[in-house]
Amino acid sequence: MKTTWLKSSIAGIALIAATGGAWADKANDTLRVAFTKELENVDSFFNSSREGVVLQRAIWDGLIYRDPVTNEYKGNLATSWEWIDDTTLEFKLREGVTFHNGEPFNADDVVYTVNFVSKEENGVKTQRNVNWMESAEKIDDYTVRIHLKEKFPAAIEFLSGPVSMYPDEYYAKVGPSGMGLEPVGTGPYKVVSVVPGQHFVLEKNENYHDSPKGQPEITNIDIRTIPDVNTQMAELFSGSLDLIWQVPADQAEKLAEMDQFTVKNESTMRVGYLSMDAAGRSGESPFTDLRVRQAVNHAINRQELVDALLKGQSKVVWTPCFPSQFGCVEEAAKTYDYDPEKAKALLAEAGYPDGFTTELYAYRDREYAEAILSYLNAVGIETDFKFLQYSALRELNMKGEVPLAFLTWGSFSINDASAMVSQFFKHGSLDDARDDQVLADLTVADSSTDPEERIEHYAKAIERITEQAYWAPMFSYNTNYVYTNEVEYTPTADEVLRFTTMSWK
Amino acid sequence: MLLFISKRLGLAILVAFTVSFISFTLLFLAGDPAAALAGETASGEDIEAIRKLYGFDRPMLVQYADWLLSAIQGDFGESYYFRLPVAPLIAERLSVTMTLGVCGITFALLTAVPLGVAAAIRPNSFIDRLALFLSVAGQAMPSFWFGLILIVIFAIQLGWLPPSGASSPMHFIMPTIVLGYYAMPAIMRLTRAGMLEVLSSDYIRTARAKGAPEGRVLFRHALRNAIIPVVSLAAVQMGFMLGGSIVVESIFALHGAGYLAWESIARNDLPTVQALILVFSMFYIVFTFLADVLNAWLDPRMRSS
């Protein structure tokens, strides 16, 4: 440590003396990006963060690729696929692809990856991403079958998202920890170095196959974790960062006024909602009364929240899912106009002419939660506001001890309604509605292979959920991307930075 | 002396384990580690799977005993969050924190002690007022604000220093100033108060009366006595800097042990938090011990007792 320090200090001083500062970006063909959160592990099966998804899309490939703009599925490591029966998918694999370490890509890699990640004891962090797969079977070197545990129509979406293909020999040798430190994939960028949680350096894969992701243009990507947004902005001003994202709305507004930066706002799949204990799991709960839940829905001025706080591409959401998701039928959702008088009348009808007091829980975006509670106060619902760590709130939620909570869900960027509505309304530990009719519809919708049938039953479930006002869905989130004018980039609506679509102007 | 040291050492080990046991209990009360580990996108089944995988379904005392046995053998386990062995992870982060802490306390002592002495020599003079102003400002300014002001001036306006990171000594200049400035006021006020008291004592008058040069009076006779409480304070401040430089580490993106501890608590990363708490409590113990030895050297009366 000491000697490298001395060396780097001398090098650092020399560099600063020579260039008057280490501020060169385009000239070195290096794009410098900041992450806010420390990424737990680069191995994409062993993290559950947005930063992890960004690296996953750069380092690895899936069998299938979904175009983030048209939502059309295209072959990536597979060239074609077909359903053999309801639970068997057959893939023809692309030939001539090699991993960054030179290992050729073939059916063995797919078989190894699928068999490894689908086993629960191997501890893949987000089980839902992989636990629908039973196993994989090699037919020949470039033909492979994936067997599903049961009917799972969203398989294609998952295979185009979180399920990346790993090199079998290397992964068998190094495992998740080794993969996290020295990742090897087939993707458009190779990993040069990883300092866990802090610093990630990527380099263009010159031999990248003819992928629908497109060829990488920028040679080097240098990602540092800078926890403080103000520091990120300072780095941007001093010319030592080129791109930051997840910038808060008020900061982004200021940056947009400066000529040297491009500020783009894009929607994300995250939906904010109020969840109410309709089933009475937390004991005597006013929310078991439909009129109270309707009153809550009428009490909140969603448009005002969007205009004043979230801004950007955020929209009012009425569905218990993100509207772009397959099956998230917006027309099926009942809407509740902002009408505090009606809310008060409904409360009076339900036996609360003077309102009542309830606990309101939240775990993020305190200012949004506070705005929401002031709307509730205005119609007579007094709140005992509790702001907790996510894990603590989650635990209470699972025990059914939360009467009212402001929650959000990002669906892991999976463009299928099953990733949201089915997570919360199928009588699981987080289901505060426990509605059998909804369960029946979602069960059909989640497992049918007929798209029409799926849409029909998701629509029914959404209709029932919103008529019963189990939730008060409120708004979608957005994120701000800020980059120097030298960078050419069009962010997509799924909150994933795609380095292959970035270039210098 | 040997008995004294072994007694202190035994006590230190007891303190370390008490601290680790209490922190273990508190972490369990703070939230479900399985839910925290599983992350935001996990379903109830994911969480159950993780609970089994990591053995959170066992009684807490069993889990603690398990941890303790491994820790005694030098095995701090694997971080739940990073899935990497805890020991090298902490060692890497500690090198940043130690550098910062040593630089910070050095900066604080080098500015605070001379200022305190100068202020005590001429009470209510310009220099005393200046020292008072600096200490009030240092106490009142939150470090995150002071850090950002330095970044704005030296990194953005002047472009002399890099805004954040830890890849060269240049990167440590601003964090050192911010961290050191935070510790400075207390050290300075204590030096000033100690010097004022000592300077009015009889033996200083005697020293002056026998014609000792003023410099000798100040530094050999006065400061040596006035500095004793300062040494103890600096030791505590040093311990605080190593464990508590979270804000500074966060602003300057220094990824040190303090920031790691802060983040690991939020992530319920038990092995990392446990190991860090052990390390931090050891630091406090070692620094207090060193301060006692140093004081004993400065003050012969302490040696004999």
The answer to whether B84 contacts chain A (CB < 8 Å) is yes
The answer to whether B153 contacts chain A (CB < 8 Å) is no
A232 confidence band (pLDDT: 50, 70, 90): very high
More confident residue, A188 or B76: A188
- The answer to whether A180 contacts B83, with C-beta atoms less than 8 Å apart, is yes
A9 confidence band (pLDDT: 50, 70, 90): very low
- The residue behind tokens 């963060």 is A49
Average pLDDT along chain A: 90
What is the bridge-based pairing of β-strands A30-35 and A220-225? parallel
Instruction: Give CA–CA dist A71/A105, Å, rounded.
Output: 26
Predicted local distance difference test score (pLDDT) of residue A484? 93
List chain B residues with CB under 8 Å of A389. 30-31, 36, 266
Average pLDDT along chain B: 83
Name the residue among B39, B163, B266 with its Cβ closest to that of A235: B163
Predicted local distance difference test score (pLDDT) of residue B167? 82
Taking each continuous run of H as one helix and of E as one strand, the counts in chain B are: 15, 0
Name the residue among B35, B49, B152 with its Cβ closest to that of A234: B152
DSSP-assigned letters across all residues of A291-328: HHHHHHHHH--HHHHIIIII-TT--B--SSS-TTSBT-
CA dist list (Å): B172 to A290, A374, B162: 59, 45, 9
Predicted local distance difference test score (pLDDT) of residue A361? 95
Report whether pLDDT(A30) > 80.
yes
Name the residue among A40, A234, A429 with its Cβ closest to that of B82: A40
The nearest CA of chain A is from the CA of B244 a distance in Å of: 16
User: Domains of chain B: which residue ranges?
Assistant: 31-73, 88-304
The answer to whether B263 contacts chain A (CB < 8 Å) is yes
The highest-confidence range among A125-129, A150-154, A313-317, B33-37, by mean pLDDT, is A313-317
The answer to whether B271 contacts chain A (CB < 8 Å) is no
Q: Are the CB atoms for A396 and B11 separated by under 8 Å?
A: no
**Dihedral class, residue A244 (left if φ above 0, else alpha if ψ from -120 to 50, else beta):** beta
The answer to whether B178 contacts chain A (CB < 8 Å) is no
Percent of chain B's residues with pLDDT above 90: 7
Instruction: Give CA–CA dist A393/A399, Å, rounded.
Output: 10
Predicted local distance difference test score (pLDDT) of residue A18? 35
The answer to whether B247 contacts chain A (CB < 8 Å) is no
Predicted local distance difference test score (pLDDT) of residue A390? 78
The nearest CA of chain A is from the CA of B143 a distance in Å of: 13
- The residue behind tokens 């002056």 is B208
Helix (H, G, I), strand (E, B) or coil at A63: coil
CA dist list (Å): B212 to A301, B197, B220, B222, B223: 81, 19, 10, 12, 15
> Model confidence over A363-403: pLDDT tens digits?
989 999 999 999 999 999 999 999 987 777 887 888 888 99
pTM of this prediction exceeds 0.95: no
- ipTM of the shown complex: 0.78
Predicted local distance difference test score (pLDDT) of residue A75? 95
Name the residue among A23, A234, A428 with its Cβ closest to that of B151: A234
Report whether pLDDT(A19) > 50.
no
Q: Are the CB atoms for B192 and B134 separated by under 8 Å?
A: no
Phi, psi of A404, deg, nearest 5: -150, 130
Q: Which of A169, A41, A164, A64 is nearest to A114 (CA)?
A: A164
More confident residue, B208 or A214: A214
More confident residue, A91 or B144: A91
Least confident stretch, A116-130, A323-337, A456-470: A116-130
The nearest CA of chain A is from the CA of B286 a distance in Å of: 23
Name the residue among B42, B162, B167 with its Cβ closest to that of A48: B42
- The answer to whether A180 contacts B84, with C-beta atoms less than 8 Å apart, is yes
List chain B residues with CB under 8 Å of A12. 167-170
Nearest chain A residue to B45, by CA: A127
Taking each continuous run of H as one helix and of E as one strand, the counts in chain A are: 15, 18
The answer to whether B30 contacts chain A (CB < 8 Å) is yes
Mutate to test the interface with B, among A131, A391, A398, A425 (most CBs of B within 10 A): A391
Buried-state track A149-172, b at ≥16 Cβ within 10 A, e below 16? eeebbbbbbbbbbbbbbbbbebbe
Helix (H, G, I), strand (E, B) or coil at A493: coil
Percent of chain A's residues with pLDDT above 70: 95
Nearest chain A residue to B151, by CA: A234
Predicted local distance difference test score (pLDDT) of residue B79? 86
Helix (H, G, I), strand (E, B) or coil at A155: helix
Helix (H, G, I), strand (E, B) or coil at A73: strand
Name the residue among A23, A127, A412 with its Cβ closest to that of B45: A127
Please tell me the number of Cα atoms within 13 Å of A135 on its side-chain side: 2
B222 confidence band (pLDDT: 50, 70, 90): confident
Helix (H, G, I), strand (E, B) or coil at B214: helix
CA dist list (Å): A413 to A162, A478, B72: 9, 13, 44
Q: Are the CB atoms for A55 and A37 separated by under 8 Å?
A: no
Instruction: Give CA–CA dist A486/A236, Å, rounded.
Output: 12
Fold of B88-304: MetI-like fold (1.10.3720)
A145's CB contacts (< 8 A; 6+ apart) are A84, A88, A89, A90, A91, A136, A137, A139
Phi, psi of B111, deg, nearest 5: -95, -40
Predicted local distance difference test score (pLDDT) of residue B163? 87
The answer to whether B43 contacts chain A (CB < 8 Å) is yes
Report whether pLDDT(B197) > 60.
yes
Predicted local distance difference test score (pLDDT) of residue A375? 96
Helix (H, G, I), strand (E, B) or coil at A297: helix
Report whether pLDDT(A470) > 50.
yes
Average of per-residue pLDDT across A466-479:
95
Structure letter (DSSP) for residue A257: T
Name the residue among B46, B78, B164 with its Cβ closest to that of A127: B46
Percent of chain B's residues with pLDDT above 70: 92
